[in-house]
Amino acid sequence: MKNLNTRPAKPSLSELTSCMSDYDPHAMPVRQAQAIIRDCITPVTAIEKVALRSALDRVLASDIISPIDVPAHDNSAMDGYAFNSADLRIDADTVLAIAGTAHAGRAYQGTLASGQAVRIMTGALMPDGLDAVIPQEFVAPGSAAGFVTVPAGAVKPGANRRLAGEDLKAGSAAIVQGRILRPADLGLLASLGIAEIPVRRRLRVAFFSTGDELRSVGEVLDPGCVYDSNRYTLYGMLQRLGCDIIDMGVVGDDPQALESAFRSACENADAIITSGGVSVGDADHTKQMMAQLGDVAFWKIGMRPGRPLAFGSITSGGRQALFFGLPGNPVAVMVSFYFFAREALLQMMGAQVTPLPLMRATAAVAIRKRPGRTEYQRGILSLSDGQWSVRPTAAQGSGILRSMAEANCMIVLAHEQGDVAGGDAVEVILFDGLI
């Protein structure tokens, strides 16, 4: 008999992948890989309190409830004259006697009689009984000293008055947890008088490059070798995401060195990112080692660049870390990071993940595209005659980092899309805010 209290063991990643009915061993659609990754993520829960300024770019850990009304009192939005709308004549100018002046930061002293106005400054509390303000430039010229003339129909009742709590009411949610705090949020928190902010602890991400041909900056470039650029692009991307980073340098193609690097990374970080060694040539020894260290799937994704991708978890010393094995080619490493690792890391950070904003632009030239894979082409977006148009950078090879630096956007050509004709609309993701 089936024991209903026993939940079936969770399938391993590799089982999950091979069980999928529409799984194509040669190419898994981008969306499918993204969905599998999304399902595997557990956010970090630890919270720390930081001073307001240090909360910039951090992930808010709990909802912020406004302790006060903002603004705290009704106040004037303009420099001018405050009056009671009930005193206005319907079809004629109204002459009001000026009883005094209201300055910002001080309550107006004194009681007002019908037919009286108060000279008022922007931000000053509305004197009791007055409900509207006429900006000083709108008063009728030539008012007699001590009087102000409000022209007929110049202002409506309640005009130019900011109401107490119109920005935020005491007890209402000012910012919801999961937000990556931006400058406007810091200002909003300051407007509530909150000095310490609860944020999720930073995510620790360890990364290293693999390959015997790699030399680090500062070393001699031996024949047949290349400088390790991936650690620098990864450094930049992880830094922008607000992670605590552990740069583990270059690890050669030696199983023992790789295993000890993975163990050390796992024991010190929440996530591990490597580049290189995931294509068919190298994957075999990596696969064997991974089988001992954790649950890792090696995928071929239906995309270009960034076809090979290893994803899963590594376990060592009683700790588990998320693992992304990104392809070695310098552009592939960036594209795989942006379209797989970035969202997963944001999810782990406890951040609300929103889709990257896409904009539509006109293809300035024809673009070749094979249906059946998603292509992320490096593009240059420009505005001319009020029209956004985009053209791919000349070189699209996945080793050509120069064109990534030259581009200001990615042209996203969907899985099913075929060739694009010049003048067709295409979708682009801007590097601003991403890179």
Ligand X SMILES: Nc1nc2c(c(=O)[nH]1)N[C@H]1C(S)=C(S)[C@@H](COP(=O)(O)OP(=O)(O)OC[C@H]3O[C@@H](n4cnc5c(N)ncnc54)[C@H](O)[C@@H]3O)O[C@H]1N2
Interface with ligand X includes 379 (CB under 6 A)? no
Residue 277 interacting partner from ligand MOO, ligand X, none (CB closer than 5 to 8 Å by kind): ligand X
Instruction: Give the separation between CA 158 and CA 155, rounded to whole angstroms.
Output: 8
Q: Which of 231, 307, 342, 369 binds ligand MOO (CB under 6 A)?
A: 307
Burial of 164-179, coded b for 16+ CB within 10 Å and e otherwise, reads bbeebeeeeebbebbe
**How far apart are CB 346 and ligand X at their closest, in Å?**
24
Cα 123 to Cα 46, 105, 135, 187, 315, distances in angstroms = 41, 8, 13, 17, 59
**Closest distance to ligand MOO from the beta carbon of 327 (Å):** 4
Residue 112 interacts with, from ligand MOO, ligand X, none (CB under 5-8 Å by kind): none
Which of 94, 313, 398, 417 touches ligand MOO (CB under 6 A)? 398
Site for ligand MOO in 163-202 (CB under 6 A): none
Single residue of 328, 350, 379, 392 touching ligand X by CB under 6 A: 328
Taking the C-alpha atoms of residue 47 and residue 340, their distance in angstroms, rounded to an integer, is 25
The verdict on 390 binding ligand MOO (CB under 6 A) reads no
User: In the structure encoding, which two tokens stand for residue 122, read together?
Assistant: 């922007």
Q: Does 374 participate in binding ligand MOO (rule CB under 6 A)?
A: no
Choice between 178 and 308, CB closer to ligand MOO: 308
Task: Give the range of 68-76, 80-88, 223-231, 237-245 binding ligand X by CB under 6 A.
Answer: 223-231
Q: Which stretch binds ligand MOO (CB under 6 A): 6-14, 160-168, 250-258, 299-307?
A: 299-307
Judged by CB under 6 A, which of 66, 313, 329, 374 binds ligand MOO? 329
Q: Which is nearer to ligand X, 165 or 330 (CB)?
A: 330
If binding is defined by CB under 6 A, does position 275 make contact with ligand MOO? Answer: no
Q: Is 230 in the site for ligand MOO (CB under 6 A)?
A: no
Q: How far apart, in whole angstroms, are the C-alpha atoms of residue 257 and residue 251?
A: 7
Q: Which residues bind ligand MOO (CB under 6 A)?
A: 304-308, 327, 329, 332, 398
Residues that bind ligand X (CB under 6 A): 209, 211, 213-214, 226, 228-230, 275-282, 307-308, 327-330, 332, 398-399
